[in-house]
Amino acid sequence: MFCTNCGAQIQDGVAFCGSCGAAVAKKEPQSPPNYQQPNFNNYQQPPVYNYQQPNYQPPNYQQQNYQQNGGYYQAYGNPDYKAPIYSKNLGTCILLSIITCGIYGIVWFINMVNDLNTASQTPNDSNGTTVFLLGLVTCGIYQWYWLYKAGEKVNAINRMKGLPHDSSLSILYLALAFFGLGIVANCLIQSKLNEVAAYAE
């Protein structure tokens, strides 16, 4: 260290300077800075936003037994599915067709085509009148084609009801028509329509 009076170098711890005899000032230990504890009482919490989870409800599907049949998986369906059509008594339809020499059978067939389009939710397909006229022009061949497609529409109804897919329906309807038993195919289709009909005649 150095003397504050003459500037001569002196040893640490001596009381007087060896050159000029001046008293050496003692260094006071420096105190640490005055650290103040933060006052947490004045701390303000951030605002809390009351966020509510939206009440989401999934679609109300009625789950059926999950099964595989004919390459289709039936996972969901509504057994109470109804279509806005009228049911028809099969015995009355057959009897009136015989009594009127087939005239009522034509009316029955046209209505059945329209009802099948409604029940299978394919309203843009050919209507009953168009199917009947094309059947006349093609000597019944188009009606065979329609019976084959009718099997697919009946299966569409089965899927909506949660029933298994039956890939043999189209072949069955076509075979019945080929062997002159088209009225039997019509009765089978009408029976399925009666199952889903919302109204009764």
- pTM, 2 dp: 0.61
Burial class of residue 123, CB neighbours in 10 A (0-12, 13-18, 19+): exposed
Q: Looking at the structure, do residues 22 and 106 belong to the same domain, yes or no?
A: no
**CA–CA distance, 183 with 173 (Å, rounded to integer):** 10
Q: Looking at the structure, do residues 106 and 169 belong to the same domain, yes or no?
A: yes
Give the range with max mean pLDDT: 6-15, 72-81, 148-157: 148-157
Q: What is the pLDDT of residues 163-172, one digit of tens each?
A: 888 889 999 9
> How close are the terminal C-alpha atoms of the chain, in Å?
123
- Please list the residues that pair with 83 across neighbouring strands: 197
The yes-or-no verdict on residue 136 having pLDDT over 70 is yes
Residue 193 included in any domain: yes
Confidence of residue 3 (pLDDT cuts 50, 70, 90): confident
Residue 6 included in any domain: yes
Residue 33 included in any domain: no
Residue 84 included in any domain: yes
**All residues at 6 or more sequence positions from 106 whose CB lies less than 8 Å from its CB, including other chains:** 132
Question: What pLDDT is stored for residue 193 in this prediction?
Answer: 95
CA 159 from chain centre, in angstroms, equals: 16
Residue 53 included in any domain: no
Q: What is the mean pLDDT of residues 119-145?
A: 93
Overall domain count for the chain: 2
Q: What is the pLDDT of residues 50-76, one digit of tens each?
A: 656 666 565 544 444 434 443 334 446
Q: What is the mean pLDDT of residues 25-47?
A: 64
Confidence of residue 33 (pLDDT cuts 50, 70, 90): low
The yes-or-no verdict on residue 157 having pLDDT over 70 is yes
Higher pLDDT, 53 or 15: 15
The two structure tokens encoding residue 95: 């009897």
The yes-or-no verdict on residue 36 having pLDDT over 80 is no
Q: Looking at the structure, do residues 18 and 109 belong to the same domain, yes or no?
A: no
Q: Looking at the structure, do residues 78 and 20 belong to the same domain, yes or no?
A: no
Domain that holds residue 21: 1-26
Q: Looking at the structure, do residues 18 and 84 belong to the same domain, yes or no?
A: no
Q: Looking at the structure, do residues 99 and 194 belong to the same domain, yes or no?
A: yes
The two structure tokens encoding residue 82: 């109804």
Residue 98 included in any domain: yes
Residue 7 included in any domain: yes
Residue 89 included in any domain: yes
Higher pLDDT, 134 or 37: 134
Q: Looking at the structure, do residues 16 and 81 belong to the same domain, yes or no?
A: no
Q: Looking at the structure, do residues 9 and 86 belong to the same domain, yes or no?
A: no
Backbone angles phi, psi at 66, to 5 degrees: -85, 115
